[in-house]
Structure 1
Amino acid sequence: MNGDSSGSLDPKGPRAESIADTWWLMLGLGVAVFVLFAVLLAIGLFRHRREGEAPPSERRWIVGGGVVLPVLVLVVVFGATIAAMRTLAEDAPPGALVIEVTGNQWYFEVAYPDAGVTTVDELHLPVGRPVEFHLTSADVIHGFWVPELGGKMDMLPDGVNVLVLQADEPGEWGAPCAEFCGLEHARMQVHVVAESPEDFAAWIESQQ
């Protein structure tokens, strides 16, 4: 398959960007905390320490580094995570394109109900327009996930899950099934094409 293979850390949509920002924040905080404690450990190892009770200055480091700092890091990560979850939970605005995706063993059936078009393992999106995905399964549990656009959701045989995504720039990506669904699971993926609204309209017309 031709196209990009950038992954979730090279976001192409607003929801993917919020997820990537949270990941980079967690990485930065983790590296900063690791470096800080590595430096303090090195100082402690090479510093002559007297036996007996730790002086007040060292007790302050223990309380600050072992209690206060982890709490601050967790609060920051928790806040960033909640903000990202709110972005993912947004309802589709008026005018969103509705696409129905059904997982099968082992392929994706993609339907555009307003246009009367159905494809297999091929998903086209207009750039800059929110898309409301209606996700379900015809047999077992599958998983829908376009890493570059963010969001991951199970496709269940007993209901319909809704996921809202948007592509901000053209591109082509592979979206593998994100839930083990049988022997051919590793080969199950949909080819995603994000294109200009004009090219999308032309593609819909060609399929009709």
Structure 2
Amino acid sequence: KDLAVSDMYTQYKMLFDFMDAIPDYIHVFIMPGNHDAVQRAEPQPPLPQELIGDFKKDNVHIVSNPTYMNLHSLDVLGYHGTSLDSIISSIPNNSYAVPEKAMMELLKRRHLSPIYGGNIIVPSKNDNLVMDTIPDILHMGHIHKNGMTKYHGVTIVNSGTWQGRTDFQVRQGHIPTPCIMPVFRAKDYSVTSIDFNR
């Protein structure tokens, strides 16, 4: 009921129409999450070709969840962040209001989904959610709430959302931060934000 467009294929077509408008000098990474048309179990594969269609731009990268990226010599670990729900509900003093604290808990444990049964995981011989490489930047979303901090040299960024507060979020007590885009400055490792609400 909160969707302006309910057809999945039309939604992805609109997404890629927006991506066409992004200038070539800006790189975009599209990573699936719990609302995308891929398997729910993590790690999640990139969006399938049937949803991408004929779209192709060298500056738009369709990646898996999670994914490691090297940007301007910085190691960036991107993860949608579904396991933040189990961290927040299981570890005292964590809340949806401060997502960066829950992200610190994942870094402490060197695992993206450390609570058994808290998240659907693909059965595999290898645990693909272990942080073998500690990133320079850990970036997540899922919570729809901006949060930024540093932990032992790692810059932690949880980006908000472009969607306003939904009825579901009201019932859950979530207060999102829509249309505020975090900006990481590689020259001094600072994180600022641009407020598109203005």
> Normalization by structure 1: what TM-score?
0.25
Looking at both structures, which has the greater relative contact order when contacts are Cα pairs under 8 Å and sequence separation is at least 6?
1
Larger-gyration structure (1/2): 1
Q: Answer 1 or 2: which has greater strand percent.
A: 1
Point out the structure with the larger helix share.
1
